[in-house]
Structure 1
Amino acid sequence: MAENDSTRVAVNGYGVIGKRVADAIAAQDDMELSGVADITGDWRAHIVKHKGFQLYAASDGHASPMQDAGLEIAGVLDELLEQSDIVVDCTPKRIAAKNVELYRRRGIKFIVHGGEAHDVTGHSFVAEANYDSAVDRNSTRVVSCNTTSIVRTLSALKRAGLLRRARGTLLRRATDPWESHLGGIMNTLVPEATIPSHQGPDTQSVDPDLDVVTMAVKVPQTLAHLHYWTVQLTRNVEEEEVLNALRTSSRIALVRAGDGLNAINAIKEMMADLSRPYDSLYEVAVWEDMLKVHGDELFYAYMVDNQAIVIPETIDAIRALTGTIKDGPESIAKTDAALDIGLAAIGARLAAQGNR
C-alpha cells in the first residue's frame, strides 16, 4: 500500500472504460491512481496528461512512438506495476487475457472486464451479488454491462423472495459512440446466432442459482442497450411490492416515461443535466410506469449505459480484492457517495414533482 494507506491502482488501457475507471479511482479518498498505460500517441493519450495522470507506455516498443508524438511518459507498464497494488485491465477484448500472464509473473492483483472469459480469473463479479466471495482474491472479472444489469435486477427480486425464473430480450447498441465512424450496422437488425445468447450463461457465472435465458439482437444505434424482461414470480403480488424490491438497490433507478423520460436519449440528456461525467448512467434505469404484473408474471423494461454501468462495480472490486473493505454494503455505499450514484432517481423524482 502507499504510505497514506491508499490503494495504488494502475489502469492498463485508456479507452471508453479505462478513462472512466481512471476518473472514478481519482474520485475515491482511499485510492490513488498510480498511472495509466496505453499504446496510443493520439489525442486520448494527451487527455491523460491534461488530467494530470501519469502516462506509461504499454511496452518498450510503444514508448518511442508515444514520445515522437510529443508525449512525456513516465516509463513502461512493467515499471507502473512495480508502483501499484493492483491493476485494472481495460484493454480491448482478448488482449487482457494475454496480459494476465504478466500480472501473474509480477504477483500483482488484477481485474479484467466482461470481454474476457470467466475462466481467465475463475471468478465473476457484481458487487451486490457476490462481493464477499471476491474479498482477498488475487483476481476477478467485472462482468459485461448487460450481465451487470441482469444480475442487479434479478438479484433484487431474488432477495425479496420473488424470483422463480426470468426470460429477457436484449436490444444491443451496435458499437461505442466514439468509434461509430469505424464500424457498426446500418439499416438492419442482427440477431445473436444462439439462444440463449451469451449474457444468460454469463449471469450464471456470478450466481449459478439464477434461472435465466436471454435472447439478443444488435440494433443500429450507439446510445445504450434496452432490455425487455418476462419474469415468473414465486407468488401473485402487486406491482408496488416489485417496485419496493427494486428500490432496495441503490444502483437501480426507477424512471417514468410519463415524465418525458420515454426514450434512452432522454435519459442520457438527464444525466448530462445532472452533470454526470461523460453523461454516465451508472444505474439500471427501469421504467416504473411501464412495469406490469399479471398474477405471478412480471413484465418490465430498462436501459443500460454500456460505457458506465461497470464503473462502480470496478471500484468495489478493487476494494474487495485488496481487502481494504471486507463488507460489501460498506464499499457500495462509499462508491455510491463518491460517484453521486442515486442522482438519477432524485432527478426523476424532481421531474415527477414538477409535472404534477
Structure 2
Amino acid sequence: MKNIAVIGYGVIGKRMADAINKQDDFKLVGVCDVISDWRIQNAVRKEYNIYAATPEAEKEMKIANIPLKGSIQELLKKVDLVVDCTPKNIAAQNIKMYKEIGVKFIVQGGEKHETTGHSFSAENNYKSAINLNATRVVSCNTTSILRTLTALKKAGLLEYARGTLLRRATDPWESHLGGIMNTMVPERDIPSHQGPDAQSVDPDLNVITSAVKVPETLSHMHYWNVKLKKQTTKEEVLEAFKKSSRIKLIHYDQGLVSNNTIKEMFLDMGRPWGDMYEVALWEDMLKVVGDELFYAYVVDNQAIVIPETIDAIRALTGIEMDADKSIAKTNESLGIH
C-alpha cells in the first residue's frame, strides 16, 4: 500500500484527491495548499488531512480554524509519491524540495517536458514510466490527441494528422476573473504547442495542430483531418476507436449537439461534477473519404487527465506492471464503462 500526497487543492487537485480515495492499492495521506477559503474547507468536510504549503499559509489556516496536520515538509516525509496539481510553473519550483526529500513526483501538463524528462499517457507509454522517479501527465488537449491517434496507430491506419483546436478561454469557476468575450484569439504559432507536446510522448507521431481560444468555459473541441495508410471504411475506423476504453462514441442525432448537452448527459449519469474522463467523439459526424478521415470530439479540460494520473501513480510506484490491468482498475473505480 503506497502513500500518496496531493499538492494543490484546486480544479485538478480536488478531483485527484477524490480519485485516489477510491483506489484500494494506494491511499491518500493528505492534501496541501496555501488557501483557507471554501475550497480547502470542503476538503476538511471530506475528512482529508490538511497540510500548509508555506508558513504564511499556516498562519492564515489557523485563523480560519482549518485543522492542520502539519507542514508540506512533514507531509512529504510520510509519502512515497506526490501528485503536484499546483498552478503552472509552481510545480517546477517545488521539484527541488521533492528531490531533496527523495520522494517520487508527478506534475501536470502545464509544466515543460524537460521538468521531468518523461511525459505520460496511459494507453501509449505506460511501460516506459514503470519505477521512474518522476513523470509529467500531459495536458487535457494533448491527452485527447494521444488517445485518438494512438488508437488509429495501433490499428495500422495512421499516416499523419492535422488538427484544429477550439480552446476554452478559462476554467468555469474563474470566468468572473478573466477570459475573453465577443472575440476569438488564434494562437500565432503553427504548430500550436499541443502537437509537439504529443510528440514528447510518441516521437513517431506525424501531427500538426493549430488552436483558437474561444469565449466559453465548459470544454475544448477538436476537428481532425487524418491521412490514413490505406483506403478503408468508417466501420474499420470506429472499430479502432472502440479498442480504447477512454474514447466514448456519441451521437449528434441523439441530441448531443454541443458541449453543454454532453456535459448535461454526464451530470445525469451521476458523475461527480459531471466529469467526462473520456474523449467524447461524434460517431455520426465521422467521415471517411478514400484514405482521408475527418472527425470531431469534445475534451473535458477538468477531468480527462484524472484517470491518466491514477495510472501514472501505479507505474511510478511499480504497483502494477501491466498497463491494461491498471487502466481497467482505474476505469472501474471511476465508473468509466
* Aligned match for 1:78, one of 58, 73, 80: 73
Deviation at 1:60, TM superposition (A): 2.0
Distance in structure 1 (CA, Å) of the matches to 2:96 and 2:187: 31
| Equivalent residue, structure 2, for 1:249 | 244
Deviation at 1:180, TM superposition (A): 0.4
Helix, strand or coil at the partner of 1:133: helix
| Equivalent residue, structure 1, for 2:184 | 189
Question: Does the alignment pair 1:9 with 2:4?
Answer: yes
- Long gaps (5+) in structure 2: none
Distance in structure 2 (CA, Å) of the matches to 1:8 and 1:335: 17
Deviation at 1:16, TM superposition (A): 0.2
Instruction: Give per-residue Cα distances to partners, 1:113-139, cap 9 Å, x unaligned.
Output: 000000000000000000000000000
| Equivalent residue, structure 1, for 2:311 | 316
Helix, strand or coil at the partner of 2:51: strand
Distance in structure 2 (CA, Å) of the matches to 1:27 and 1:276: 14
1:172-211 superposed matches below 5 A: 172-211=167-206
* Aligned match for 2:228, one of 224, 233, 240: 233
| Equivalent residue, structure 2, for 1:108 | 103
**1:114 counterpart letter in structure 2:** G
Question: Does the alignment pair 1:139 with 2:134?
Answer: yes
Instruction: Give per-residue Cα distances to partners, 1:285-309, cap 9 Å, x unaligned.
Output: 0000000000000000000000000
**2:267 counterpart letter in structure 1:** A
Question: Does the alignment pair 1:56 with 2:48?
Answer: no
Deviation at 1:145, TM superposition (A): 0.0
Deviation at 1:262, TM superposition (A): 1.1
Distance in structure 1 (CA, Å) of the matches to 2:261 and 2:229: 34
- Long gaps (5+) in structure 1: 1-5, 343-356
Kindly tell me the number of residue pairs found equivalent between the two proteins.
337
| Equivalent residue, structure 2, for 1:125 | 120
| Equivalent residue, structure 1, for 2:158 | 163
| Equivalent residue, structure 2, for 1:25 | 20
Distance in structure 2 (CA, Å) of the matches to 1:326 and 1:193: 41
* Aligned match for 2:256, one of 257, 261, 268: 261
- The range that moved more, 154-163 or 60-69, is 60-69
Helix, strand or coil at the partner of 1:317: helix
Distance in structure 2 (CA, Å) of the matches to 1:39 and 1:160: 46
* Aligned match for 1:284, one of 269, 279, 285: 279
Deviation at 1:31, TM superposition (A): 1.5
Distance in structure 2 (CA, Å) of the matches to 1:335 and 1:82: 26
**2:135 counterpart letter in structure 1:** T
Instruction: Give per-residue Cα distances to partners, 1:147-187, cap 9 Å, x unaligned.
Output: 00000000000000000000000000000000100010000
| Equivalent residue, structure 2, for 1:94 | 89
TM-score (norm 2): 0.99
Helix, strand or coil at the partner of 2:262: helix
Helix, strand or coil at the partner of 2:68: coil
* Aligned match for 1:152, one of 129, 147, 150: 147
Deviation at 1:15, TM superposition (A): 0.4
**2:192 counterpart letter in structure 1:** S
Question: Does the alignment pair 1:221 with 2:216?
Answer: yes
**2:206 counterpart letter in structure 1:** D
Distance in structure 2 (CA, Å) of the matches to 1:311 and 1:70: 30
| Equivalent residue, structure 2, for 1:41 | 36
Distance in structure 2 (CA, Å) of the matches to 1:139 and 1:115: 15
Distance in structure 2 (CA, Å) of the matches to 1:80 and 1:193: 42
Helix, strand or coil at the partner of 2:297: strand
Distance in structure 2 (CA, Å) of the matches to 1:156 and 1:330: 18
- The range that moved more, 257-266 or 307-316, is 257-266
TM-score (norm 1): 0.94
Deviation at 1:82, TM superposition (A): 0.9
Q: Provide the aligned C-alpha RMSD in A.
A: 0.5
Deviation at 1:279, TM superposition (A): 0.5
Question: Does the alignment pair 1:297 with 2:288?
Answer: no
Deviation at 1:61, TM superposition (A): 2.4
Distance in structure 1 (CA, Å) of the matches to 2:187 and 2:139: 16
Distance in structure 1 (CA, Å) of the matches to 2:48 and 2:159: 47
Question: Does the alignment pair 1:68 with 2:63?
Answer: yes
